[in-house]
């Protein structure tokens, strides 16, 4: 199987295990062999469901009553583990059939890989949703996937309503239950999904006292459903074959239409360009699509300028006056009108109407006032007031946040929403101070480095700025000490502390982030809150990971031929070790990603770059945290994937008698799904590149160290 297919299957199966959903709303599930959606074309053959799950331990579906909570918690873990074991091969077969069907239907090998929404074919968190080229098919009620979802829902609901568990743990089980019981996330059941969450919201609102976190979770779920209905993001939708005749109709772009018309036409042309066959004889047609795109953009700008000229500026300026004493309905309408007009003005300014920039800026200045009025409107729902409160706080700078915090302290209110407001202001104030401190530290950098988000700042932080960091970290740790008190509507300060640590690690460096994590772990050492304990467990490996620089790396394992790996033979030269965690079938749990530092090189191919360093004496090892069989499968798939496979050195995998989760990489805190480690000639760690969360910049320490180790190697300079 091509490697890319395998990785997609593994990643999407992990989603299915983590966020299962049950089709509780199917009136009469149709057997798959009789379902008209099951076979969209002769090219697609649905794998047999009964055969695929014949090996499932169905005895786990029998749930006895009056058992201790520990029994039900263990049964949840056993069910999820069994589902992952049995469903993996089925998902792989399903994805292969779907991909082959799509490629044959479109007669274009590249179109499926490049088409938007290609991942929509796979499970989107629904064990009993069977994706086909025509959409979703619900699994029969007596099938293993449906029975699995029903059993899991029953267990999770029982745990969510258990008074013996902590509030935090009950909340986690409740969220998991709604994900299971809510139903599939396809097109047709979307309104039924909304009805389910509305019904649960009514149930929770009728309770006294109110469980704020549950209510907030349900409200946010309803918002997510509305966004999905509007944007169709994440839904399993059919991907029809490329329709050349339909695309040809889009090429003739009429003049004199509205801005919205040209915006939608541009979107359709973009989709058509991605779906277009990538054959030599189709290049002329693709050029026509690009020409139509260009014409659409030009006509959009002309339409935007026409609308800008026709704009009633005097009427727009009336929105700048925010009167006092009006109702919440008035301020809510005014807020939406102001937001909508600002969005239009942004388009006009982008089209060239620069004279409207001041009006747009002034409208933006009116939004905080409107949000603040709504944040304290007594005739609004408390949750809606809190939403507007967060919007208002989002407009505030450091000094305004200080004033807002002083005002909340002066109010001395004790309701849950009052405490939530105060905690939120404290968090945003610390975040703003941290951002300001990082910006101040960047001023000491050379201009070229100042613009690079991935530049670390340890060398440029003055003692004064370090003291600012220490002050902020102390306050975070102090609040984390009170982590047993729930953070507003569902989180804790310990989770926010980890967020701060990630930001600091990405923008500043591991030294300060490690210090913060240590302080927070110390503050939470005696916490009985389950979330706090979970955060501490996640912080400890990261602390160890940032502390094993200059530590000798005890690489141990076996090569693919089953012989012990001779780590001692690598002494005397620098070694670059790539670590990847695999599943039992040899697939990575995270899609293949080139090293992070590739983005910091001006067009250089990372493998060509490493080849130059290897010529200069660098050696490489690919260490796979997996069993020997899984490592062999991975090596075979990697070798067959493409000619650009970067594995010149032998594969090394975990010792045969050691489980992957207990190998030396985990003991050192290397719990990333993929990372790179550079060691010196004595086997001591010089630099690392772990995989960081989305939105956190990767850091190029390994490139910097390689350049120092091999100053004579000719490489491409950074942008």
More confidently predicted of 31 and 631? 631
Dist. CA 128–CA 87, nearest whole Å: 11
Mean pLDDT, rounded, for 104-127: 38
**Average pLDDT of the residues of the chain:** 75
**Whether residue 91 has pLDDT greater than 60:** yes
pLDDT tier for residue 202 given thresholds of 50, 70 and 90: very high
**Whether residue 20 has pLDDT greater than 70:** no
Q: State the pLDDT at residue 119.
A: 33
**DSSP 3-state of 240:** coil
Q: State the pLDDT at residue 301.
A: 94
More confidently predicted of 409 and 6? 409
Mean pLDDT, rounded, for 416-432: 88
Q: Does residue 129 contact residue 139 with C-beta atoms inside 8 Å? A: yes
**Helix 416-442, helix 398-411: angle, nearest 10:** 160
Q: State the pLDDT at residue 188.
A: 55
Mean pLDDT, rounded, for 557-561: 82
More confidently predicted of 15 and 205? 205
Mean pLDDT, rounded, for 103-131: 43
Dist. CA 666–CA 672, nearest whole Å: 9
Which tens digits make up the pLDDT trace of 526-542?
Answer: 887 777 888 888 888 77
Share of the chain above pLDDT 70, in %: 70
Dist. CA 625–CA 137, nearest whole Å: 36
Q: State the pLDDT at residue 25.
A: 29
* CA nearest neighbour of 455 among 704, 672, 675, 707: 704
Lowest-confidence segment of 184-198, 248-262, 580-594 by average pLDDT: 580-594
**Whether residue 579 has pLDDT greater than 60:** yes
**Whether residue 233 has pLDDT greater than 70:** no
Q: State the pLDDT at residue 398.
A: 92
Which tens digits make up the pLDDT trace of 441-488?
Answer: 777 777 766 655 455 666 667 777 788 888 888 888 888 876 655 566
Q: State the pLDDT at residue 11.
A: 31
pLDDT tier for residue 381 given thresholds of 50, 70 and 90: confident
Q: State the pLDDT at residue 9.
A: 28
Q: State the pLDDT at residue 184.
A: 59
State the Cα angle at 306 between 302 and 308, rounded to 5°: 115
Dist. CA 693–CA 714, nearest whole Å: 32
Q: State the pLDDT at residue 304.
A: 94
Strands (E), 591-644: 619-625
Q: State the pLDDT at residue 530.
A: 76
- As a whole number of Å, the CA-based R_g of the chain is 28
pLDDT tier for residue 601 given thresholds of 50, 70 and 90: very low
Query: Can you list the alpha helix ranges (DSSP code H) found in 548-627?
Result: 606-615
Lowest-confidence segment of 216-230, 293-307, 410-424, 688-702 by average pLDDT: 688-702
């Amino acid at each position: 199987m091509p490697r890319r297919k395998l990785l997609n299957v593994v990643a999407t199966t992990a989603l299915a295990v983590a966020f299962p959903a049950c089709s509780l709303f199917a009136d009469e599930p149709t057997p798959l062999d009789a379902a008209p959606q099951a076979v969209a074309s002769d090219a697609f053959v649905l794998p047999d469901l009964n055969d695929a799950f014949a090996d499932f331990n169905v005895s786990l579906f029998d749930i006895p009553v009056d058992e201790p909570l520990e029994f039900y918690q263990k049964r949840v873990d056993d069910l999820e583990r069994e589902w992952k074991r049995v469903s993996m091969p089925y998902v792989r077969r399903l994805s292969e059939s779907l991909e082959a069907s799509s490629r044959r239907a479109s007669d274009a090998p590249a179109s499926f890989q490049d088409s938007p929404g290609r991942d929509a074919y796979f499970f989107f968190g629904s064990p009993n949703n069977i994706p086909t080229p025509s959409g979703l098919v619900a699994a029969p009620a007596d099938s293993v996937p449906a029975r699995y979802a029903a059993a899991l829902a029953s267990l999770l609901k029982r745990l969510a309503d258990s008074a013996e568990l902590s509030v935090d743990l009950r909340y986690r089980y409740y969220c998991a239950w709604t994900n299971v019981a809510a139903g599939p996330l396809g097109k047709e059941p979307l309104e039924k999904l909304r009805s389910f969450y509305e019904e649960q919201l009514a149930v929770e609102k009728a309770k006294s006292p109110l469980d704020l976190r549950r209510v907030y979770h349900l409200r946010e779920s309803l918002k997510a459903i509305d966004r999905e209905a509007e944007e169709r993001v994440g839904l399993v939708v059919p991907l029809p074959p490329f329709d050349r005749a339909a695309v040809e109709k889009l090429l003739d772009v009429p003049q004199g239409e509205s801005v919205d018309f040209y915006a939608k036409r541009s979107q359709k042309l973009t989709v058509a360009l991605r779906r277009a066959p990538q054959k030599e004889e189709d290049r002329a047609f693709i050029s026509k699509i690009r020409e139509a795109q260009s014409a659409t953009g030009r006509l959009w700008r002309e339409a935007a300028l026409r609308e800008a000229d026709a704009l009633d500026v005097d009427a727009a300026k009336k929105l700048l006056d925010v009167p006092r004493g009006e109702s919440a309905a008035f301020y809510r309408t005014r807020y939406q009108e102001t937001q909508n007009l600002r969005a239009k003005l942004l388009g006009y300014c982008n089209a060239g109407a620069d004279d409207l920039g001041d009006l747009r800026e002034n409208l933006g200045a009116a939004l905080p006032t409107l949000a603040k009025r709504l944040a304290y409107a007594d005739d609004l729902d408390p949750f809606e007031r809190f939403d507007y409160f967060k919007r208002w706080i989002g407009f505030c700078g450091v000094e305004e946040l200080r004033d807002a915090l002083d005002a909340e302290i002066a109010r001395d209110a004790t309701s849950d929403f009052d405490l939530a407001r105060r905690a939120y202001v404290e968090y945003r104030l610390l975040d703003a101070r941290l951002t300001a401190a990082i910006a101040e530290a960047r001023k000491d950098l050379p201009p070229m480095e100042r613009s690079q988000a991935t530049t670390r700042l340890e060398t440029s932080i003055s003692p004064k700025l370090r003291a600012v960091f220490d002050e902020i970290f102390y306050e975070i740790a102090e609040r984390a000490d009170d982590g047993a008190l729930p953070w507003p509507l569902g989180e804790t300060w310990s989770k926010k502390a980890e967020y701060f640590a990630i930001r600091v690690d990405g923008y500043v460096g591991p030294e300060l982030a490690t210090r913060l994590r240590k302080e927070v772990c110390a503050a939470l050492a005696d916490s009985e809150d389950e979330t706090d304990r979970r955060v501490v467990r996640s912080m400890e490996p990261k602390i160890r990971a940032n502390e094993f620089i200059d530590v000798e790396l005890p690489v141990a394992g076996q090569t693919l031929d089953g012989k012990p790996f001779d780590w001692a033979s690598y002494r005397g030269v620098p070694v670059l070790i790539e670590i990847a965690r695999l599943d039992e079938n040899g697939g990575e749990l995270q899609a293949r990603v080139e090293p992070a530092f590739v983005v910091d090189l001006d067009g250089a191919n990372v493998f060509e770059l490493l080849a130059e360093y290897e010529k200069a004496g660098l050696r490489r090892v690919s260490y796979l945290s997996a069993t020997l069989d899984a490592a062999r499968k991975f090596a075979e798939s990697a070798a067959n994937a493409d000619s650009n496979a970067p594995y010149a050195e032998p594969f090394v995998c975990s010792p045969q008698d050691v489980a992957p989760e207990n190998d030396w990489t985990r003991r050192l805190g290397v719990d990333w799904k993929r990372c790179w480690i550079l060691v010196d000639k004595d086997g001591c760690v010089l630099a690392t590149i772990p995989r960081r969360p989305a939105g956190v910049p990767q850091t190029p320490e390994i490139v910097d160290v390689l350049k120092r180790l091999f100053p004579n190697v000719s490489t491409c300079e950074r942008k």
